[in-house]
Amino acid sequence: MKFNFTRALAYLALLFFSITSGLTLAQNYPTKPITLIVPFAAGGPTDIVARTLAATMSKTVGQTVLVDNKLGAGGTLAAAFVANAQPDGYTLLIHHNGMSTAPALYRKLSFNPLTDFEYIGQVVDVPMTLIARKDIPAKNLQELIAYIKQNSSKINLANAGLGAVSHLCGMLFQKAIGVELTTVPFSGTAPALNALLGGQVDILCDQTTQTTQHIKSGTVKMFGVTTKERIKALPEYPTLSEGGLKDFEVIVWHGVYAPKGTANATLEKIGNTLRTATKDPSFVAKMADLGAESVSDTKLTSEGLKSWLQTEINKWGPVIKSAGVYSD
Ligand code: ASP
């Protein structure tokens, strides 16, 4: 077959322009608003971190970072949405431990947390608090556990669905006290907390980013934090470990992800913007007021997120399997 020099030249030119235009797009990124997908309802802990982060990132990235709440299935629908989004840097995901528990909880997960994303970095660590409706007849954790055991058939435990950290914390709490409760799933712990305030549910394990203000104002009853040590935002409250649930610990970490295949220049721009935002004094101050802790510089990197994700998958997989909790 005669070599067609003209056609070969045309292909090379096409290849050259597609590579250079891709590079140009990435180098000019961003040229329009960026959307940060939040897997839970507006007003909840993840949304609070996301909107504070988005507003701070908007100050330096050169475009507005918008927040869009995509609900359902304990955060897995949002993760699947971003895994299948255009890898152009304009659709990002913020998610928490749920990225590491989903593989064990969902037998038919429509994405792979370890292969379907690019890893931007972690954001903040947030403690959880075990709270109850304020008229529950218990003054401390031991009295709450006794009350639960005496009324287990009537007690409702709220969470944000299979894969939410409120589900994980609630599962660990039930296992620790040896009682199985009726659980009521919501699209996030914002509606779950509203149900608690309205007396429709009895107990909720939720993050300090949302519960701190309610605990301080007395609209809910507080039974402990899920950290090894007491926290600066709520120093007068004991840890669950102090209350008798030895070594009970759940800390909520947050990662920002992009779809697999996003250009390196774009990822670098997003990563640098994230790291600048998480060190912004107003961001740090607001997060600290809500009990959230800054993370190490290592955790702020792409590798710091991906290696932590792998560690957490390895940690929670066996715990979830031993609890026999999953969704087909
Ligand atoms: N973090 C979720 C939210 O913001 C709740 C959860 O994961 O339990 O609603």
The alpha carbon of 191 and the centre of ligand 1 are apart by a number of angstroms equal to 10
- In total, the chain counts a number of residues equal to 328
Q: Identify whether residues 143 and 187 lie together within a single domain.
A: yes
Q: Identify whether residues 41 and 120 lie together within a single domain.
A: yes
pLDDT at 4: 83
Q: Identify whether residues 280 and 297 lie together within a single domain.
A: yes
CA distance 61 to 277: 10
> What are the tens digits of pLDDT across the range 122-170?
999 999 999 999 999 999 999 999 999 999 999 999 999 999 999 999 9
CA distance 265 to 96: 25
Residue 65 lies in a domain: yes
Contacts of 313 (CB under 8 A, 6+ apart): 100, 103, 104, 113, 114
pLDDT at 21: 62
The alpha carbon of 117 and the centre of ligand 1 are apart by a number of angstroms equal to 21
The alpha carbon of 194 and the centre of ligand 1 are apart by a number of angstroms equal to 13
What is the rounded average pLDDT of the residues 174-192? 97
pLDDT at 6: 82
Q: Identify whether residues 118 and 21 lie together within a single domain.
A: yes
pLDDT at 43: 97
Q: In terms of Cα–Cα distance, which of 208, 209, 213, 284 is closest to 239?
A: 208
pLDDT at 22: 61
Residue 115 lies in a domain: yes
CATH of the domain at 207: 3.40.190.10
Q: Which long-range contacts (CB under 8 A, 24 or more apart) does 140-143 make?
A: 140/223, 140/243, 141/223, 141/224, 141/238, 141/240, 141/243, 141/244, 141/245, 142/243, 142/244
Q: Identify whether residues 121 and 209 lie together within a single domain.
A: no
Ligand 1: list residues with CB < 6 Å.
40-41, 44-47, 96, 159-160, 164-166, 188-190
CATH of the domain at 260: 3.40.190.150
Residue 276 lies in a domain: yes
10 pLDDT higher than 70: yes
70 pLDDT higher than 80: yes
Pocket probe mutation, ligand 1, options 36, 168, 206, max atoms within 8 Å of Cβ? 206
Q: Average model confidence (pLDDT) for the chain?
A: 95
Q: Identify whether residues 270 and 295 lie together within a single domain.
A: yes
Ligand 1 atom index nearest CA of 46: 4
pTM of the model: 0.92
pLDDT at 63: 97
Q: Identify whether residues 117 and 137 lie together within a single domain.
A: no
pLDDT at 24: 63
Q: Identify whether residues 18 and 118 lie together within a single domain.
A: yes
- Phi first, then psi: give them for residue 230, nearest 5 degrees: -60, 155
Contacts of 136 (CB under 8 A, 6+ apart): 144, 147, 202, 203, 221
pLDDT at 326: 85
Q: Identify whether residues 147 and 44 lie together within a single domain.
A: no
2 pLDDT higher than 90: no
The alpha carbon of 50 and the centre of ligand 1 are apart by a number of angstroms equal to 12
Residue 4 lies in a domain: no
Q: Identify whether residues 204 and 279 lie together within a single domain.
A: no
Confidence of residue 30 (pLDDT cuts 50, 70, 90): very high
> What are the tens digits of pLDDT across the range 255-300?
999 999 999 999 999 999 999 999 999 999 999 999 999 999 999 9
Q: Identify whether residues 76 and 144 lie together within a single domain.
A: no
Query: What's the domain range around 59?
Result: 10-126+253-323
Q: How many domains does the chain have?
A: 2
> What are the tens digits of pLDDT across the range 86-106?
999 999 999 999 999 999 999
205 pLDDT higher than 90: yes
8 pLDDT higher than 90: no
What is the rounded average pLDDT of the residues 171-191? 97
The alpha carbon of 7 and the centre of ligand 1 are apart by a number of angstroms equal to 56
17 pLDDT higher than 80: no
Residue nearest to atom 7 of ligand 1 (CA): 164
Range scoring the smallest mean pLDDT among 2-6, 14-18, 189-193: 14-18
Confidence of residue 12 (pLDDT cuts 50, 70, 90): confident
